[in-house]
Amino acid sequence: MSLALDRHGWLQPQRKVRRARSPNQDARPAGSEPILLVIHNISLPPGVFGGTEVADLFQNRLDVSTHPWLARLRDLRVSAHFFVRRDGGVVQFVASTQRAWHAGVSTFEGRERCNDFSIGIELEGTDTVPYTDAQYQTLAELTTVLRARHALKAVRGHEHIAPGRKTDPGPSFDWERYGREAGWFRRQLPPV
């Protein structure tokens, strides 16, 4: 897969890249360029992969009656810029130049409201199920494309910017592998 961003912050559509615009986005505050990449995980219902529920959630059309666990998401309005499926396919919900609603209450290097200055990538997974080789490959390529376009200076997990509230991407995420494959310096990765 060869990924490329257009001038508006959208990946060029191709066989493994799909656009599904989310209404859960807005403009970044003036002067707030993305400097942080945030890695998340999601599966809906938890531990179930391959369905439409994540895209449906990010597009405010999730049918919460299909599974009892989903009822807790009834009024949730969230999104991420990208969703990387188990097979390495990518769904983009928000242009990288816009603010997606992925981080919630969060802090990075003393700065609050990480949504203002970050790009969020959701991996289809859980804290405890290993991510796939295809996901690491796509994540590394997507990271390279985003770093070429935006002045990203660091990457963190949701767990690092919202400790005690969030746990993803969790212990199943191999930060060393990802850092090596995506070309991050050790100082740009979460502290060990």
Kindly list the catalytic residues. Answer: 122
Place of tokens 């790009």: 119
Alpha-carbon gap, residue 76 to 101, rounded angstroms? 11
Per-position DSSP letters for 35-58, written without gaps between them: -EEEEEEE-SSTT--SSSHHHHHH
| Of the candidates 159, 28, 14, the residue with the CA atom closest to the CA atom of residue 81 | 28
Three-state secondary-structure class, residue 73? helix
Residue 90 is which amino acid? V
Q: What DSSP designation does 92 have?
A: E
Structure tokens at 109: 């290097």
